[in-house]
Amino acid sequence: MTEREVIARRAGAPRWIYLFTALFGLAFAGVSAWLGFTTGAPMGFLLIVFVLAGLFFTGISLFYFIKGMRMPEEIAVREGDMLTFLGQTFPLKELANVRYRLAHYHHGWGGMGWFLGWGRLTVVRKDGRSCVAYFVADVEEAHDRLIALMREYAAKESA
């Protein structure tokens, strides 16, 4: 029996944040449209811009919400010498590069900033194909573990 190690999981909260922002954008568009119909033409152009901005904001937020819902619960799983990343299984020795990007930089008190723990993880194979996973929980730890495995299998291959 080969050992099974879950390296990366989907983050739970971010996709619900996008649903909330989609509802906020829809409410903003609705209030702008209501104001446009009740106040008349003096602010008509500006309110049309507000309605379109609210609908655009809603569309982008729904896009990321659906993208987050489609991500599997276990994003990267190692079983022996094989890695399953987003449903694609390949040998670990095929890993060429692993990159990550933390999501949403926030400014803290005193000029100190902090990042949320979830982000985007990109795995590049030696044949040039790449896979990108969004909403990865503890993306920095997953990146470090995949880099360690990549180096381990590169050392085995060169020896």
Residue ranges covered by each domain of the chain? 4-11+73-158, 14-69
In Å, how far from its chain's centre is CA 13? 11
Band of pLDDT at residue 106, cut at 50, 70 and 90: low
Band of pLDDT at residue 118, cut at 50, 70 and 90: confident
Q: Rounded to an integer, what distance in angstroms lies between the CA atom of residue 91 and that of residue 81?
A: 6
Q: Choose which CATH entry (1.20.120, 2.40.128, 2.30.29, 3.90.25) describes domain 4-11+73-158.
A: 2.30.29
Taking all residues of the chain, what is their mean pLDDT, rounded to a whole number? 83
Mean pLDDT of 42-56: 82
Answer for the pair 75, 10: CB distance below 8 angstroms, yes or no.
yes
Burial of 42 (0-12, 13-18, 19+ CB in 10 A): exposed
Does residue 44 or residue 24 have the better pLDDT? Answer: 24
Answer for the pair 85, 136: CB distance below 8 angstroms, yes or no.
no
The yes-or-no verdict on residue 33 having pLDDT over 90 is no
Q: State the residue for tokens 């152009």.
A: 45
3-state secondary structure of 41: coil
**pLDDT-wise least confident of 41-55, 75-89, 103-117:** 103-117
